[in-house]
Amino acid sequence: DSHIQYERVGADVTMKCGSMDWDAAVTWTANGTDIDESHLNGSYLILKNVDLTQSGQYSCYEGSSWHLKYQTYLRVGTPPKEPVLMCRSNNYPKGFYCSWHLPTPTYIPNSFNISVIHGTREMVCEKDVFPKNRCHIRYLQLFSTVKYKVTLTVTNALGKNSTTVTFDEFAIVKPDPPESVVAKPVPNNPRRLEVSWQNPSSWPDPESFPLKFFLRYRPLILEQWQHV
């Protein structure tokens, strides 16, 4: 009979030896190593103030016969803190994506659920295969003045938490950086450089939605930037 038992860091944990009586003679092991009898209360195993190192497989055996009666996998972790959520449109006007992460690890499995509301309509945020903590929305209506509301909920065996962001369509438009940036000397003019670049390949329609470029430069020996 095998189980998974989730417990918080710092908790006191009691494990029963399956259906064995409290006063039954038993032996406990952790990851195959015998546990001292001082941690037993009858047939119960008592772990005080558990920490991450105590995660592992715990087994209970009947008396001296060493007949396996119960087995559990202890997973020590923490409830999730409020997740960090960011939404951005790098391929306007096609849509936008939202990505997220936890500010601190929980050490146990987490599941994420995201909802996107536009006015009264709930929209589907299609999960990306990679990176796994990202999904994207396709714009159904351009130049909308209705705000988007995105709520992300994270859940694990020890608790749940959520965060919500609300924004206008135009407020999250942020192109990716220019690509193929090249600087080369100008022949017969040692004080000049020619710099060239290309639009980011993720930007789908540079003719309808042209990009402006901002360039700054400085000699390495100077602290002050020049701007173009």
Give the chain's domains with CATH numbers: 3-77 (2.60.40.10), 84-172 (2.60.40.10), 177-227 (no CATH)
Q: pLDDT (tens digit, 0 to 9) for every residue of the chain, 228 residues total?
A: 469 999 999 999 999 998 899 999 999 999 999 999 999 999 999 999 999 999 999 999 998 788 999 999 999 999 999 999 999 999 999 999 999 999 999 999 999 999 999 989 999 999 988 778 999 999 877 888 899 999 999 999 999 999 999 999 999 999 999 999 999 999 999 889 999 999 999 999 999 999 999 999 998 999 999 998
Contacts of 28-34 spanning 24+ positions with Cβ under 8 A: 28/58, 28/59, 28/60, 28/61, 29/58, 29/59, 29/61, 30/54, 30/56, 30/57, 30/58, 31/56, 31/57, 32/57, 32/59
Q: For 116, which DSSP code?
A: E
What is the pTM (predicted TM-score) of this model? 0.83
Residues with Cβ within 8 Å of residue 62, at least 6 apart in sequence:
20, 24, 25, 26, 68, 69
Residue 2 pLDDT: 62
Residues with Cβ within 8 Å of residue 215, at least 6 apart in sequence:
195, 227, 228
Task: Copy the structure tokens of residue 188.
Answer: 């017969």
